[in-house]
């Protein structure tokens, strides 16, 4: 699903947009352990996390993930925003907690696959 559309469906605010051609989200990984997030990164994975510090900055800088979604309406550090913009990683902020954010992401992505399946 296109990132713009996904953000809209879950009601998240787009802090920095996705880089052109890197906005196709196929799965989501949520977690707060850095090793897990690193291991889950792929070119189609959105990472949802509480981590909002220098670890997050490196995650964006090093892993080339298409999008990271912060939760609980967290305000990202200006340095993280700049890094995300430079890296071409979309930075979303969801007003919901991690549980509800994931629920909404799951619903949005599965309903799209179901729509796509019959054709």
Partner 1 sequence: MTEITGDIKSGDYISAGRASKKVKDALKRIGADPAAVRRAMVAAYEAEMNVVIHAQDGTLRAAVTPDTLEVLVSDGGPGIENIEQAVREGYSTAPPEARELGFGAGMGLPNIQRNADRFSIYSEVGKGTRLHFTVFLKAQTEASVHASSVSITPAECKRCLRCLHVCPTQAIRIRDSAPIILPHLCVGCAACRAVCPEKVYDINCPDELPEPDKNATLVVPAALRGQFGRFLSGAALRDTLHAMGWDTVWFSDPWEEALADAVTRYASESNHAGPILSPVCPAVVNLIQVRYPSLLSNIPPFLTALESARNSLHSGHGVFVVPCAAQCSLVQEVNALHPAVAVSPNALLRALTAAIKDCDDGANPPVPSAQEEGRRPKVVAISGVDRVCQFLDEMEDERVNDCGIVALYACDSGCFGAPVWPEHPEVSRYRSMTTERQHHASGRALYRPKPLAPRAGLRLDADMQRAIEKLAQIDRIRDTLPGRDCGVCGSPTCLALAEDIVMNRTDADACVYKKQHPQKPRQKRGKETTS
Residues that bind partner 1 (CB under 8 A): 32-39, 41-43, 49, 51, 53-55, 57-58, 61-64
- Given the structure tokens 């953000």, which residue do they identify? 7
| Residue (17 or 66) nearer to partner 1, CB | 66
Shortest gap between Cβ of 37 and partner 1 (angstroms)?
7
The nearer residue to partner 1, 7 or 80, going by C-beta atoms, is 80
| Nearest approach, Cβ of residue 59 and partner 1 (Å) | 9
Neighbours of 48 (CB within 10 A): 23
DSSP output for 29-90:
EE-S-HHHHHHH--TTEEEEES--SHHHHHHHHHH--SEEEE-TTPPPPHHHHHHHHHHT-E
Of 4 and 86, which has the nearer Cβ to partner 1?
Answer: 86
Q: How far is the CB of 68 from partner 1 (least distance, A)?
A: 13
The 8-class DSSP code of residue 52 comes to -
């Amino acid at each position: 699903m296109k990132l713009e559309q996904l953000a809209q469906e879950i009601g998240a605010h787009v802090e920095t947009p996705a880089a052109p051609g890197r906005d196709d989200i196929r799965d989501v990984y949520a977690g707060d352990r850095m090793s897990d997030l690193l291991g889950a990164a792929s070119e189609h994975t959105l990472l949802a996390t509480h981590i909002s510090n220098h670890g997050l900055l490196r995650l964006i800088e090093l892993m080339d993930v298409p999008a990271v979604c912060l939760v609980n309406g967290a305000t990202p550090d200006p340095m993280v925003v700049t890094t995300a913009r430079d890296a071409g990683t979309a930075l979303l902020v969801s007003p919901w907690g991690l549980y509800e954010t994931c629920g909404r992401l799951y619903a949005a992505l599965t309903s799209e696959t179901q729509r796509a399946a019959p054709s």
